[in-house]
Amino acid sequence: MPIQRSTRKGTVVSTSDKAKNKIQETKGKAKETAGKAVGNERLEAEGIADQTKADVKQAGEKVKDAGQSLKP
């Protein structure tokens, strides 16, 4: 799958950033699940934190995309 890039005023927005965020979210879910399975609260909390970070990054990407669509 080719990486789609759009440049505006020096900013590069790519689908690879979105994929990296999704990978981070998936790893977070795995950590959380593993932590629950073995009773490791620290691992579970790390997984939740990773998911939250990925969600924030994904929201930022959506804002960038919305901004790009508004520009002429």
At residue 50, the pLDDT reads: 96
Please name the amino acid found at residue 45: A
The answer to whether residues 50 and 22 touch, using CB atoms and an 8 Å cutoff, is no
Alpha-carbon gap, residue 37 to 62, rounded angstroms: 33
In one-letter notation, the amino acid at residue 38 is V
The structural domains of the chain, with segments of one domain joined by +, span 21-70
CA–centroid distance for 15 within its chain:
11
72 residues of the chain, pLDDT tens digit each: 455 555 544 445 578 888 899 999 999 999 999 999 999 999 999 999 999 999 999 998 888 888 877 766
H-only helix segments in the chain: 15-38, 41-70
